[in-house]
Chain A
């Protein structure tokens, strides 16, 4: 049977390679791929530029008194920008679930703005990325190819002729679809080769890395296109005419490639509602502000009490007993507040992160319901822009915070009171320099096969299901129904 399948596939491929229409389609797709690569690289360059601008601004400021953790302007916060991501050439670019920068302070890790940078707002990047082109246009071509291959064979009586000669129609259909799959995989290899070549021509240092990410996507692309071609074949077998098959095929394609991938996200948001990151940050900052106002009031009262009847001294060169007593009290208040702030920061972040995780988990299962969504998830993971990247970044940021807390905040110098113009100021440690900070380890941008395992397995399961539908359809034909 294997020889028969190979023979049928070979004849099918031979037939398609002699069709001029296929060459035109391929040239069209290659042009789209080149456009997508050009747009993707431009998007990537913009984001890198944006990142370097952010970094320069941070280096200039060194430390940024941003978050009012224990009184306005008292504790300074360190800001680290998230590097631009690489994998936007195949899958969507920056992950907007993750902050574009992180603030590290004594109160704990704070996320900066979740909205992407200006560059990542480029809508073209999410329309023209390779993943969308292959999911939508490639999917349609594969499906129509499947319908054409099986439909033409069925409706002009070739399957019946084969069956009457003793060849199982299921084997005939499988052989033709195998040829179709071979054609699609060869086309994908050529297209990805074109994409890699286009990347190389941009003379980027990271071109080999990008090319590696591109090639790792061959597996989900081939699986997805084979599923679509199989669906086309099954539709042709179960339809009454080629016209019905074409209409049904387009409806199935719309569901698989366009509607399906969005349904999972919509259902996930409806079933597990999560406040948007921006809203969450607004609410969190308001909570901190209220909390800090109460602390400031308490500290102010104690300061007024400590300095009662004294003329203004800037700064108190020789702190007397009252000031020292105040400093001791302040120290305990500061410690308590820092502890409380850390707890508050952790618990609010944890609450939001837990809800987000529940939604993500649900989405992970819902996305398995359509091949299009599985393809999205697999390519995102293999391009290094999936949920795994977000998780890796969060783990990295948290580890950085732990190191900073140990290095700077928990092992702090003695407090010094200064006041003029402000009610009080508090320097908790020596002036921070960027070079003093432990450098965050570079994040490895790579294909995450483990993360892609589930969607890839789901695609394989879809392939099996489609094969069963084809087999059932062929049996139905052979029994004359």
Chain B
């Protein structure tokens, strides 16, 4: 089985500053993984490097079978990236926003029934489907993005700090949603500062510190300190 993400000894420099160095990790399809790190650890840069937004300075990189430095379009076609979920057009309804985004990126737009089903699958309440997106909570906005990923048949979902503005209950619901997404064969990689959420909701957890991925066992070592 081809890995959804395969990173070997990745190095990224932005200007003169080294952001990532010697980073290696693998995420298989249908698995969820988390990168835990503090502010400025390089989590967002790592995710955006996977999409080809940053150019690597060293190492090997394969995302959904493509090199993002060479084929960024192929990578984005099979990947859904969510940084801030609340980027919808406030003047449109939830459903209109989904259609708008699918149309913009040239993805096929299914009929209303399928769209509604996709939104219901990720627990978006019926009353919000035809309501303006201003009424969506943080978790519901994330859920809409997960439905977009499903409608685009993305092989990989990348989430940049999805728990940042979520309460404890919503964080737990998100873990459950991500589990459902992964059971459909989609790989999920998220970044977070919440170690417990990472350990509880994902199958692999990596600790990113000062641009370096520490070995898996270091997480508990660091925690015990």
Contact = CB atoms under 8 A, between A and B. Distances in A.
Given A7-B103, A7-B104, A166 B73 contact: yes
B82 interface: yes
Nearest to A158: B87
B89 interface: yes
Interface in B16-49: 45, 48
Contact of A15 (B51, B55, B90, B152): B90
A161 B83 contact: yes
B105 A166 contact: yes
B91 A164 contact: no
A480 B48 contact: yes
Contacts of A478: 53
A18 B93 CA distance: 13
A242 to B, nearest CB: 14
B101 A165 contact: yes
Contacts of B3: none
A8 B87 CA distance: 14
B106 interface: yes
Nearest to A155: B84
Nearest to B154: A165
Contact of A8 (B77, B104, B152): B104
A89 B20 CA distance: 63
B87 A11 contact: no
Interface in B48-94: 48, 51, 53-55, 73, 76-77, 79-84, 86-87, 89-92
B91 A165 contact: no
B73 A480 contact: no
B22 to A, nearest CB: 20
A165 B76 contact: yes
Contacts of B81: 161, 164-165
B14 interface: yes
A4 interface: yes
A156 interface: yes
Interface range for B: 20 to 34
Contacts of B79: 164
A157 interface: yes
Contact of B84 (A15, A156, A163, A480): A156
Contacts of A158: 87
Contact of A480 (B45, B86, B101, B152): B45
Interface residues of A, number: 23
A481 B84 CA distance: 19
Contacts of B101: 165
Contacts of A362: none
A165 B104 contact: yes
Contacts of B80: 164-165
A164 B83 CA distance: 10
B89 A165 contact: no
A379 B158 CA distance: 53
B195 interface: no
Contact of A166 (B82, B84, B90, B106): B106
Nearest to A13: B91
A22 B158 CA distance: 37
A11 B100 contact: yes
Contacts of B83: 157, 160-161, 164
Pick the most buried of A15, A18, A163: most chain B CB atoms within 10 A of its CB: A163
Contacts of A160: 83-84
Contact of A161 (B54, B82, B91, B103): B82
Nearest to B47: A164
Nearest to A11: B89
Nearest to B105: A165
A14 interface: yes
Contacts of B86: 156
Nearest to B92: A11
B64 to A, nearest CB: 13
Interface string A465-481: 00000000000001111
A53 B92 CA distance: 63
Contacts of A7: 100, 103-104
A172 B89 CA distance: 13
A167 B102 CA distance: 10
Contacts of B92: 11, 14
A158 B89 CA distance: 9
Given A7-B104, A164-B83, 5 more contacts: A7-B100, A11-B91, A18-B91, A164-B80, A165-B101
7 contacts: A7-B100, A15-B89, A163-B51, A164-B51, A164-B80, A165-B101, A479-B53
Interface of B: 14, 45, 48, 51, 53-55, 73, 76-77, 79-84, 86-87, 89-92, 100-101, 103-106, 152, 158
